[in-house]
Amino acid sequence: MLSTLSPVDTKGSKSTIQGDAKVIQVDYSDKASIKHALTGVDVVISTVPTAAFDVQGNIAAAAKEVDVKLFVPSEFGGISEGETEGLQAVKANVQAQLKALELPYTAFYTGAFADQIWVPYVSRYFSPLSILSC
């Protein structure tokens, strides 16, 4: 059985959400705060940006302690498993942490995003304003 969707928000954020979802503010440097947010949650889908990949270890450790059943790390891109250099190595390290915690996880590899691939080519032929006015 899946728990009710509870978006997690950074402590101090002024974000609001419409509908029945409950927003829980979290201080990612405080393990108790993370555990509180994850208590009763079955699946964690991490969507932290690249600059915040280091917090996933804290989130995963807290998830393990409150019996989260599945962790989805913020992968979204190319295959990172076994990589030893660059951003992919950082992602691979998160997977290694999940394995060490014995926390079940699933990594989704989406491949490159279209905007990363096509923008260099499109911008050669069109100015951004001509694209917006179409």
* The predicted structure's pLDDT at residue 76: 77
Query: Looking at the domain assignment, is residue 71 inside a domain?
Result: yes
Whether this prediction's pTM lies above 0.75 is answered by: no
pLDDT confidence of residue 110: 80
pLDDT at residue 66, rounded to an integer: 97
Q: How far is residue 108 CA from its own chain's centroid?
A: 11
98 domain-assigned: yes
Q: Is 91 a catalytic residue?
A: yes
**pLDDT tens for residues 76-103?**
777 788 878 888 888 899 999 999 999 9
Quote the pLDDT of residue 84.
Answer: 84
Q: What are the residue ranges of helices labelled H in 1-134? A: 31-38, 55-65, 86-101, 114-125, 128-132
Is 2 within the bounds of a domain? no
Structural domain count, the chain? 1
Of the candidates 14, 22, 69, 91, the residue annotated as catalytic is 91
Residue 39 lies in a domain: yes
CA–CA distance, 84 with 91 (Å, rounded to integer): 10
CATH assignment of the domain containing 16? 3.40.50.720
**Blockwise average pLDDT, block size 10, the chain, 134 residues:** 46 68 85 94 91 90 97 85 84 93 92 65 56 49
Range of the domain at 87: 8-132
Query: What's the pLDDT score for residue 123?
Result: 58
